[in-house]
Structure 1
Amino acid sequence: MKMIVGLGNPGPKYLMTRHNVGFMVIDSLAHRWNCPSDFREDKKALVTKIKTSNEDVLLVKPQTFMNLSGESVQPLMNFYKIELKDLLVVHDEVDLPFGQLRFVINRGHGGQNGVRNIHDRLGSKAYGRLRLGVGSPPHPDFSVADYVLQAYSKSEQSHLPDVLSLACEAIEFFVDNGLEKTANEYNSAKGTINL
């Protein structure tokens, strides 16, 4: 079984913010896989389990707020006996431009507090992550925290469906082929939307 975790913050206030792009990807996958309303509460998260052609997949949206995401990820992994190689965490990344995605494994948290908490709770960073570029603040004095908690710009919103579609396509490839092949396939021009 694979476990795909989208990071974000619960509640309507955060719904369309850059920090919630992980939740947006999970919702897009659920819609794409015809289970958009099948989420239930489990281990401080909203989860739904689906069967693809080759694999059972658990879609997860932690409801702990971003910085405590590990409090739901670790218990779910234990309960469902998920191996690190079968975990993929999807999150916003300010070090990548909007429209670009990159897969990584065994890397530091890079200041992303949700990822930091997952590292701490799992005692490992040897799992896959899908970093979705949200761009960086417009000037150095602009707080990163304030930036990621803002809604996407109108221009970004017009391209967001394409970004989410690309992320879903890449995750489907991961489910069938694993992280190494997926990184080789998408950590290239293929992993970037032309804006």
Structure 2
Amino acid sequence: MKCIVGLGNPGKKYHHTRHNIGFMVIDELLSRHHWSLNKSKFNGKYALEHDLGEKIIFLKPQTYMNLSGECLYPLMKYYHIDIDDILVIYDDLDLPVGKIRLRQKGGHGGHNGIRSIIDHLGTKDFKRIRIGVGRPTNSMPIVDYVLSTFPKAKQEDVHESIKKSADACEAWLKAPFNEVMNEFNH
């Protein structure tokens, strides 16, 4: 069983914010396959689906970003999901809007959702897709920036990065992650 986790904050007020780009990728995947988040447990909403002979969970933690690990860890234990079968999708300030980067492991880089997952799982060794949201070009505090929406001028880049990230998720269901990284990291 594989688990694809999109990070974000629950609630309408956060729906289109930079911090919720992980949720947006899960929405794209669900839309492509006409699936829905029809289960709710472990402070998360998720879909348990079958594709290509594999069970897959698409998860949106509902704990708020900083507590994402509190949702993922019990779900992994309940479904006996191995750390190698987890893929976490989240926003990254250090990448420009429209850019994605796949990694096999790494630190939290100041991202509190990833910090929570590392703390709860007890390891940094899980697959990720980092999606660029850029940094503020003015004196806007980071917290306000990640909780703001993308400007209209960046919408096409945002949609492209969501599409590419969903494509990478689908590729991972068919191929080893290092091959997927070689295809999408350029």
Give TM class, smaller chain.
over 0.9
Q: Does the 8 Å contact 1:54/1:176 carry over to 2?
A: no
Corresponding position: 1:183 with 2:184 = no
Match of 1:143 in 2: 141
Counterparts of 1:70-109 in structure 2 under 5 Å?
Answer: 70-109=69-108
Counterparts of 1:1-195 in structure 2 under 5 Å?
Answer: 1-35=1-35, 37-139=36-138, 141-188=139-186
Please identify, of 154-163 and 84-93, the stretch whose mean Cα deviation from structure 2 is larger: 154-163
- How far is the alpha carbon of 1:165 from its aligned partner? 1.3
Which amino acid in 1 is paired with 2:60? K
- How far is the alpha carbon of 1:38 from its aligned partner? 4.0
Aligned residues: 186
Change (3 A) 1:99 1:127: same
Partners of 1:16 and 1:65 lie apart in 2 by 15
Cα shift readout 1:93-118 (whole Å, capped 9, x = no counterpart): 00000001011122000000000000
**Tell me, what secondary structure is at the counterpart of 2:28?**
helix
Cα shift readout 1:134-184 (whole Å, capped 9, x = no counterpart): 111113x32111111101101122333322211111110112113211111
Q: TM-score, normalised by structure 2?
A: 0.96
Q: TM-score, normalised by structure 1?
A: 0.92
**Tell me, what secondary structure is at the counterpart of 1:177?**
coil
% same residue: 42
Q: Does the 8 Å contact 2:100/2:131 carry over to 1?
A: yes
Q: Which stretches of structure 1, 4 residues or longer, exceed 4 Å deviation after superposition?
A: none
Structure 2 unaligned regions, length at least 5 = none
Partners of 1:11 and 1:85 lie apart in 2 by 30
Q: Does the 8 Å contact 1:8/1:20 carry over to 2?
A: yes
Please identify, of 99-108 and 16-25, the stretch whose mean Cα deviation from structure 2 is larger: 99-108
Partners of 1:40 and 1:155 lie apart in 2 by 36
Root-mean-square deviation over aligned CA pairs: 1.1
**Tell me, what secondary structure is at the counterpart of 2:162?**
helix
